[in-house]
Amino acid sequence: MPVDWQTAESWLMGNAWVGSLASDHVRTLCDTIGTRWGGSDGERQAAEYIREQFESFGLEGSGIEEFDVSTWESESASITLNGVQPRRLDVRPSLFCPSVDLTAPLVDVGFGMDHEIEPLTPRLSGSIALMSGAYEPFSPPEPLSDRLERLASLGVAAVISPYAAGGRRTTHGSSNDWRDNRPASVPLPLVFTSREDGALLGRLAASDVTVTVRVDASYRDGVSRNTVADLAGDTWPEETLFLGAHHDTTPDSPGANDNGSGTTVVLETARLLARLKRDTGIGPGRAIRFATFGSEEQTLQGSVAFVKRHYIDAHDEPRPRLMINLDELGTGTMKGVALQFPELRPLVQGALDEMGEGLRCHVMAQMDASGDMFPFARAGIQSAMLWRWRFVGRHPDTAFGHSSSDTPDKLRIRELKEYAGLLSRVLLRLSHVPPSEWPADELDLNAVERRIADERGSVVRTM
């Protein structure tokens, strides 16, 4: 039976606004539960809340899937500037930074590029390097992890990296290449300081100053959780589309933008499509699976576990026709979809054009290992990041990721409602594209691995 799109889409957009639960989800996740570091009690509470919501919407098979996580905890960290009057500087350790207690000369290595450190080589062994995490403006960009590996290979014992924006801010960043999915395999101890204290260190680096870097941290095994639920397909029940987002946060962040926003929109999109079916009888053509992942901030361990369980180890589960990942939706309005592979672009753009909202489908030049679509792509599943203004032109007050300042006051609830309305329409439309019009699903896994290897050392272009 053809879908009455006018009825379906009016219903979805209206109910995305009036009766929205977006505010409730954000408050529960960020205020009531708070930080949701993978493997923590907060993350467990979040997974239970999400599963209960899925069930209340009438989805099928709502469940929590536990998996083993290699996790990390930092009890304390400090950077001390030694001198007549030792001074403690602003500090946040990088994620999975090993314990360190080191006093050494400070060497300013600029951005850590080859041409910058070459004349410094004799001074690097055993030193603490001051390095900007940004990209050196006159050269092709190099990933932070590559620059840290270079410094480690030259004997640098620890790195201090200042935050780019002012205001004594620091964030929890990572130091390794996420393509490897080995969280504890870090090049060397990396701690972040504020722009202000970084500038102070820069002014003193020429005058034989020593600094002391201390991090007290431990690695341990824990249990993290994914959630999952399904909305049945009416016409091709054996086929699926997939909408996912991570529900975990960095260790001290309430995670409003990253990623209470994406989790909220997964929940709202699930509610809208389930209630549309209940209230109007209009359901998806192929099934839609909704999931949230734990431990994304710990090198994507949740989505890796999910893909392994459902699409690598289990051979009877249909692989999704398309997986869309939602992350940091507080950064701006929905622009469209950024695919990891080119095959589906005409089809997805066609569906977006029919909606008449000016949404665009792009194809990324590199496979993007910075989010939960990556393990899906690596397994040969067509996948995408929702396109929003992540870095260029984003709402300025969402630039507080991976810190305790990522709070709900910086989210625009009306934009989250719009995301849920538009996404439920996109998914409903894609669910009704007949299999005969869907490009054959034939990604070559060897070619994908070759591509991942070839792209090592390149910086993913993300707008």
Chain contacts with Zn ion (rule: CB under 5 A): 258-259, 327
| Nearest-approach distance from CB 163 to Zn ion, in angstroms | 18
- The residue with tokens 């709900």 is 408
Q: Choose among 270, 234, 239, 249: nearest CA to 441.
A: 239
Q: Which is nearer to Zn ion, 239 or 327 (CB)?
A: 327
CB-based burial, 376-404: b 16+ in 10 Å, e otherwise: bbbbbbbbbbbbbbbeeebbeebbbbbbb
Q: Which is nearer to Zn ion, 143 or 233 (CB)?
A: 143
Q: Which is nearer to Zn ion, 108 or 328 (CB)?
A: 328
Q: Which is nearer to Zn ion, 133 or 285 (CB)?
A: 133
The CA distance from 252 to 250, in Å, is 6
| Nearest-approach distance from CB 296 to Zn ion, in angstroms | 6
Alpha-carbon distances, residue 132 vs 78, 153, 462 (angstroms): 19, 18, 20
Residues with Cβ < 8 Å from 400, sequence gap 6 or more? Answer: 169, 171, 257, 406, 407, 410
- The half-sphere exposure of 345 on its side-chain side, counting CA atoms within 13 A, is 11
Sign of the Cα torsion 191, 196, 202, 208 reads negative
- Measure the CA angle with vertex 281, ends 280 and 283; round to 5°: 115
| Nearest-approach distance from CB 258 to Zn ion, in angstroms | 4
| Nearest-approach distance from CB 177 to Zn ion, in angstroms | 17
- The residue with tokens 């469209």 is 336
Dump the DSSP string for 372-415: THHHHHHTT--EEEEEE-SSTT--GGG--TTSTT--GGGS-HHH
Q: Which is nearer to Zn ion, 329 or 427 (CB)?
A: 329
- The kind and range of the H/E element at 89 are strand 87-89
- The residue with tokens 């397909």 is 233
| Nearest-approach distance from CB 248 to Zn ion, in angstroms | 9
Q: Which is nearer to Zn ion, 197 or 258 (CB)?
A: 258
Q: Which is nearer to Zn ion, 222 or 260 (CB)?
A: 260
**Reduced to 3 states, what is the DSSP secondary structure of residue 245?**
strand
Q: Which amino acid is at 124?
A: L
| Nearest-approach distance from CB 95 to Zn ion, in angstroms | 12
Q: Count of H helices and E strands in the chain?
A: 13, 14
Q: Which is nearer to Zn ion, 285 or 371 (CB)?
A: 371
The CA distance from 423 to 416, in Å, is 10
Q: Where are the beta strands (DSSP E) in 249-395?
A: 286-293, 322-326, 334-339, 360-363, 383-388
| Nearest-approach distance from CB 262 to Zn ion, in angstroms | 7
The CA distance from 274 to 288, in Å, is 10
- The half-sphere exposure of 257 on its side-chain side, counting CA atoms within 13 A, is 27
| Nearest-approach distance from CB 196 to Zn ion, in angstroms | 27
Q: Which is nearer to Zn ion, 90 or 372 (CB)?
A: 372
| Nearest-approach distance from CB 293 to Zn ion, in angstroms | 10
Dump the DSSP string for 36-80: -BTTSHHHHHHHHHHHHHHHHTT-EEEEEEEEEEEEEEEEEEEEE
| Nearest-approach distance from CB 273 to Zn ion, in angstroms | 23
| Nearest-approach distance from CB 250 to Zn ion, in angstroms | 9
Q: Which is nearer to Zn ion, 162 or 260 (CB)?
A: 260
Q: Which amino acid is at 191?
A: V
Q: Which is nearer to Zn ion, 259 or 269 (CB)?
A: 259
